[in-house]
Structure 1
Amino acid sequence: MKERIISVDIFRGLTIALMILVNTPGTWEYVFPPLRHADWHGYTPTDLVFPFFLFIVGTSIVFAYRNKEPNAATYRKISIRTLKLIGLGLFLGAFTLSFPFVKDFAEIRFPGVLQRIGVVFFFAAVLYLNANWKALLGICVAILVGYWIWLGFVPFDGAAPTFERAPNNWANYIDLQVFGTHMYKDDYDPEGLLSTFPSIASSLLGIFTGLILLSKRPKKEVLLLALGAAMVVLGYLWDLAFPINKALWSSSFVLVTAGWANIVLALIYYLTDVKGIQFGSIFKYTGANAITVYFLSSFITKIFYSVEVADGMSLHGWLYEKIFVHSFLSGEMSSLLYGLAVVSFYLLLAWWMYRRKIFIKV
């Protein structure tokens, strides 16, 4: 019987809840600063959410594949799951309510959150099955250092490269050449091609945490806290040469976000798995159907923005204006309350699915 570590499920579900919250404010005009992404360099609490999920993908790989052999059957399952994730992401990027329910080809975004999760899962799972922890550490270091060298030191058409949002930024340039108009912005994509390599390192760091959690060593939470603090410090030191940046998924960003992930997970692990304190079960239910809940939230949000009701207002806008906007509330608070209501709905949906033993494997 597989050992179950409750904190991992809670962490995964909490991350999904936060992903939904930051993606569905009442209006983008009024959002509290911590719930916005950093403009370019630096990070906010919102910028921690996606790397937290990739981190826990790595941790979950350890639990799911620790007794699996690297054979054709295993690779087939990994490949199928990868293709499902990429397919769901492309569907979200292409879907529209207007017949024939597909956007004009030039408007379809190819990269995306689910696409990146699928690619990262594939490489992290394959590497875990074929390498010991020392080799994985070497690969992780090679990715992070190699990415820094490429973006910071490889000449760009004979000129110096840059970490800024500019044409001579290698990550932005490659995305533009490969994806063209199929990007989030005209000049870059936060889930772009080159920045996917360091995002794999985010998942590899999660694998190390999974190995620690499955080990027999005592005081695992102390080790995770220490590793987390060390990575945050190292990330801030690296920030001096390679700025912390989510859009680029810079190497310093990888270390800082994985460090905070270890710290948060260590605290949850200590409270739930060590002390046996019962809390966060609603997030555990969400973690059991994490991808399903995230996909549904993204899909339904697209529909709410597309369906027009009274006076040409979208269903999303109508609900927000009629229920959450009041003179005694600030714009930011009204917008946050709408987001919290959306999150509450999906938490309840996850609870309902869990109680009825509905687990949709993606």
Structure 2
Amino acid sequence: MSNIFSGYARNVIDQLPPGRLLALDVFRGITIAAMILVNNPGSWSYVYAPMAHAKWHGWTPTDLIFPFFIFIAGVSVAIVMNRELAKGTDKLFLLKHAFVRAVKLFALGLFLALFYYNFSDPDFSWVDAKLFSMRVMGVLQRIGLVYFATVFIVLYWQNLGRWLWAIGLLLGYWALVMLTPYSDSAGNTYIGLLEFGNSLPAFIDNYVFSAKHLYYASATPFAFDPEGLISTLPAISGCLAGVFTGNILTNKALTLAGKAKKMLVIGLVCAIVGELWGLVFPINKALWTSSFVVMSSGWALLTLAALTWLIDIKGKKYWSAPFVVCGANAIFFYMFAGVLARLLMMIPVADSSLGDWLFSDVLQPLFGNYNGSLMFAISFLFVSYWVLDYLYRKKIFFKV
């Protein structure tokens, strides 16, 4: 088995172009694989704590996955924009291209929001249940908005301006959330609250979208979305943190070891500052607080520094082949997993769905509640990977 994997790994890694930032490819692959794993348990009632989001304030390893993805997008923005600007590519052309890509990402997110039909209910109305109650925001929607805003900032501001944007968005969001008064329908006025269903981000989400278009539709006094409207603002700072990291990685004046050390030091500072800031502005993924952005950016830097040291400096790279495959088709991976998960909910089996049947009648009796739920997630990941590996071997890559 080890010889088979060794041959497979060498076939993947040795075919990569020389000079490629392998650690970044692996980081992207680990992140998207982790996202698929935690998004698809056999039952949400049986999830090990590290694989679940924090209930409210605080964080778990799972809470780092989405900000890592946004951070990686920022690294890619820096690499691509630096290359294109050095070639003299027109800024407006690059901005238009970014806009089109952002629209595509947003549209893919809406497609996933609409892709469901309850075949077991003869009275089910897709128009009422999905179209007229469509969740507007979501993971891909946020990535699209953040990506476009980041490209705009990178194209029209130099390094100092980008830093001012990053810091200004973090401090501005903190001030906006903590100092702006808002009222509910009963006339009660609030200020500076960070409660489930009672915060300025929730108030704005509820006002702009209305409850039926939000993820937490039953939250009171305000429905809200964990990928909400104004909570997208600090996420842009997380993407800009990736841009600054991309500039470090492409700095030819630094050795590879120097780049890893710089990321390590900055990552430690950010992680500590984020935790300290969290004492007064709690770390909260659902509200995407500024302290959460600084903390998660710190851990992203630490992770990338560790991978750079292990893979690109020490040369321990062949173990990473599956993650290279995952990262090469990251958006397709997310879309495929999203469609497959919905199909497992839609296909009726007995008095339940195919997904529920696989867990409750097959995996749960064999492995128990929590391990059965975990085995479902792992099996789901392996099935998805089998498709990705086929596409990789056929050199089929989907770009948005």
Shared fold, TM over 0.5 = yes
Residues 55 and 258 in structure 1, CA contact (< 8 A), matched pair in contact too: yes
The partner residue of 1:340 within 378, 384, 389 is 378
Matched, 1:163 2:198: no
* Structure 1 residues 132 and 189, CA gap change in structure 2 (3 angstroms): same
The separation in 2 between residues aligned to 1:150 and 1:73, in whole angstroms, is 34
Structure 2 match to 1:206: 242
Matched, 1:270 2:300: no
The separation in 2 between residues aligned to 1:133 and 1:10, in whole angstroms, is 27
Structure 2 match to 1:16: 32
The partner residue of 1:115 within 141, 148, 161 is 141
Give 1:30 shift.
Answer: 0.6
Unmatched tracts of structure 1, length 5 or more: none
Give 1:62 shift.
Answer: 1.5
Structure 1 match to 2:205: 175
Secondary structure, counterpart of 1:107 in structure 2: coil
Structure 1 segments, 4+ long, off by >6 Å, are none
Residues 51 and 62 in structure 2, CA contact (< 8 A), matched pair in contact too: yes
Cα shift readout 1:156-206 (whole Å, capped 9, x = no counterpart): 356432112243x11000000011020001221100001000111110001
Matched, 1:190 2:231: no
* Structure 1 residues 116 and 2, CA gap change in structure 2 (3 angstroms): farther
Residues 70 and 129 in structure 1, CA contact (< 8 A), matched pair in contact too: no
Give 1:2 shift.
Answer: 9.1
Q: State the Cα RMSD in Å.
A: 1.7
Secondary structure, counterpart of 1:325 in structure 2: helix
The separation in 2 between residues aligned to 1:5 and 1:171, in whole angstroms, is 37
Q: Which amino acid in the other structure matches residue 179 of structure 2?
A: F
Q: Which amino acid in the other structure matches residue 72 of structure 2?
A: I
Cα shift readout 1:42-90 (whole Å, capped 9, x = no counterpart): 1111111100100100011122222223433222221111111000101
Q: Which amino acid in the other structure matches residue 8 of structure 1?
A: L
Matched, 1:287 2:327: yes
Structure 1 match to 2:393: 355
Structure 1 match to 2:11: none
Residues 37 and 43 in structure 1, CA contact (< 8 A), matched pair in contact too: yes
Q: Which amino acid in the other structure matches residue 136 of structure 2?
A: F
Cα shift readout 1:96-137 (whole Å, capped 9, x = no counterpart): 235986544342111000100111111111211222222111
Bigger Cα displacement from structure 2, 233-242 vs 125-134: 125-134
The separation in 2 between residues aligned to 1:104 and 1:225, in whole angstroms, is 45
Identity of aligned residues (%): 38
The partner residue of 1:51 within 61, 64, 67 is 67
TM-score, scaled to structure 1: 0.95
Unmatched tracts of structure 2, length 5 or more: 1-16, 119-123, 184-188, 218-222
Residues 95 and 151 in structure 2, CA contact (< 8 A), matched pair in contact too: no
The separation in 2 between residues aligned to 1:80 and 1:335, in whole angstroms, is 39
Q: Which amino acid in the other structure matches residue 285 of structure 1?
A: V
Cα shift readout 1:18-55 (whole Å, capped 9, x = no counterpart): 11111100111111011111111111111111001001
Q: Which amino acid in the other structure matches residue 343 of structure 1?
A: L
Give 1:147 shift.
Answer: 0.5
The separation in 1 between residues aligned to 2:18 and 2:234, in whole angstroms, is 31
Residues 235 and 256 in structure 1, CA contact (< 8 A), matched pair in contact too: yes
The separation in 1 between residues aligned to 2:143 and 2:190, in whole angstroms, is 34
The separation in 1 between residues aligned to 2:92 and 2:300, in whole angstroms, is 33
Cα shift readout 1:243-270 (whole Å, capped 9, x = no counterpart): 0000110000001111111111111111
* Structure 1 residues 254 and 266, CA gap change in structure 2 (3 angstroms): same
Secondary structure, counterpart of 2:182 in structure 1: coil
Matches within 5 A, 1:237-316: 237-278=276-317, 279-310=319-350, 312-316=351-355
Matches within 5 A, 1:81-160: 81-97=101-117, 103-157=129-183, 159-160=190-191
Residues 180 and 192 in structure 2, CA contact (< 8 A), matched pair in contact too: yes
Q: Which amino acid in the other structure matches residue 254 of structure 1?
A: V
Give 1:236 shift.
Answer: 0.8
The separation in 1 between residues aligned to 2:23 and 2:243, in whole angstroms, is 15
Greater C-alpha Rg: 2
Q: Which amino acid in the other structure matches residue 149 of structure 1?
A: A
Residues 182 and 203 in structure 2, CA contact (< 8 A), matched pair in contact too: no
Bigger Cα displacement from structure 2, 314-323 vs 92-101: 92-101
The partner residue of 2:272 within 214, 233, 237 is 233
* Structure 1 residues 150 and 191, CA gap change in structure 2 (3 angstroms): same
The separation in 2 between residues aligned to 1:144 and 1:2, in whole angstroms, is 38
Cα shift readout 1:206-255 (whole Å, capped 9, x = no counterpart): 11111111112132111111111100100011011100000110000001
The separation in 1 between residues aligned to 2:214 and 2:56, in whole angstroms, is 17
